Amino acid sequence: MVKVQVNVEGRKDPPVDFDVNMQEEILPQVEKLCKMLQIREDEQHKYTLRYEKNALSDLTVAGFPTIPANALMLLGLKPKYEAMNVLQKLVELQSEPNMLKNTFFFLRKNLQDLEFAAAFVGQNGIMLLVNVMMDITGNALAYCLQAIEQAMDYKIGWDGIEEKHIQKIFSLIRWDDSGTNKTNVVTCAIRIGVLLAEGPKHGYTTIHSALTKNSKETGEPPYSGIIACIGSNCDLNMQTDALKLVNGLYKTAP
């Protein structure tokens, strides 16, 4: 038996003392803790105990890394339920995307968790993000793009991306040394472009079509933005990513 202190995710209450039995199944212990903390009975199955960001097994805590006495633990939602909450926010606040900054921050952190990412991506999360992306600017756009890039790195869940989304992403890939474009927005857009260029569904044909349509709207040559990023002396990583994008387009060109 190990005496620990437990905080509840999202609450500002002081931690409570709780005895964790290392030889028993964790699920009934979590249920007991939820009752102590007055969490609704129909919500209790959604919770797990975490120690140093690792969720305890639902079966047993035996074999889990040693938990020292008085360790601070966190009672929070299981990753799949956290993902469902985020998805709901993306739907509810789609018409108010600037209210979603905190959600984008949360995604950037939690998409590193495989269980969370699988739930988020598997329930159309990327498509919700790219739809929100269409109507935002500034810092909110930068945070949204970072979340999209992280989610797309799993290489699933983005077959539904349409040409209008690709047009938006590639319209952000442009640079001039006066600094009118934010480096983080441009860099994220380029990296998403690399994923699209190398993907089996989109590749050169779809991207070239999107660039051509952007060119007709702006009056600028289709690839001028990418070329400007390669020629920039502002950010070596951005130059490298822009070259990767060109290489990806070359590989999928007819």
Q: pLDDT digit string (tens) for 7-35?
A: 998 888 899 999 988 888 888 899 999 99
Higher pLDDT, 62 or 242: 242
The pTM assigned to this predicted structure is 0.84
Q: How confident is the model at residue 65 (pLDDT cuts 50, 70, 90)?
A: low
Average model confidence (pLDDT) for the chain? 89
Res. 105: pLDDT tops 60: yes
Helices 125-133 and 114-122, packing angle to 10 deg: 70
Helices 203-218 and 183-198, packing angle to 10 deg: 140
pLDDT recorded at residue 66: 75
- The average pLDDT across 145-160 equals 93
Helix (H, G, I), strand (E, B) or coil at 33: helix
- The sheet with strand 72-77 has its strands ordered as 16-20, 2-8, 72-77, 47-51, 54-55
pLDDT recorded at residue 144: 94
- The average pLDDT across 161-166 equals 96
